[in-house]
Amino acid sequence: GAGVSQTPSNKVTEKGKYVELRCDPISGHTALYWYRQSLGQGPEFLIYFQGTGAADDSGLPNDRFFAVRPEGSVSTLKIQRTERGDSAVYLCASSFAGTPSGANVLTFGAGSRLTVL
């Protein structure tokens, strides 16, 4: 697509529920990132995919968070047993994968705002 698309744009759920957030990257971008942005903070890295595999998941806060990218395009961030502290905007970004990856120029989606009541 023309840009990075994230759905839903807003999600309200209850504590303890399961949530899925979807990201559709720019066509041809093999690198995909998930970030979390809490109120008043900068984006915090969660996970980086190179193709279908998670190349770096060091930012996932705990085992309630999981992400997949089965065909190397669309990615889904999954949160189990949601907690109020999970409330944030979840940002997805994609890029061409260069070397080193720290030099990749990321294009961000508008984000999915998650509210856990």
**Alpha carbon distance 17, 20 (integer Å):** 10
Using rule CB under 8 A, residue 56 touches other proteins:
yes
Q: Which is nearer to other proteins, 35 or 65 (CB)?
A: 35
Q: Which is nearer to other proteins, 79 or 91 (CB)?
A: 91
Using rule CB under 8 A, residue 90 touches other proteins:
no
Using rule CB under 8 A, residue 39 touches other proteins:
no
Residues with Cβ within 8 Å of residue 33, at least 6 apart in sequence: 45, 46, 47, 48, 49, 92, 93, 94, 95, 106
Using rule CB under 8 A, residue 33 touches other proteins:
yes
Question: Is 19 in a helix, a strand, or coil?
Answer: strand
Q: Which is nearer to other proteins, 29 or 109 (CB)?
A: 109
Question: Is 44 in a helix, a strand, or coil?
Answer: strand
Chain residues binding other proteins by CB under 8 A are: 4, 33, 35, 40-45, 48, 55-56, 59, 91, 93, 100-111
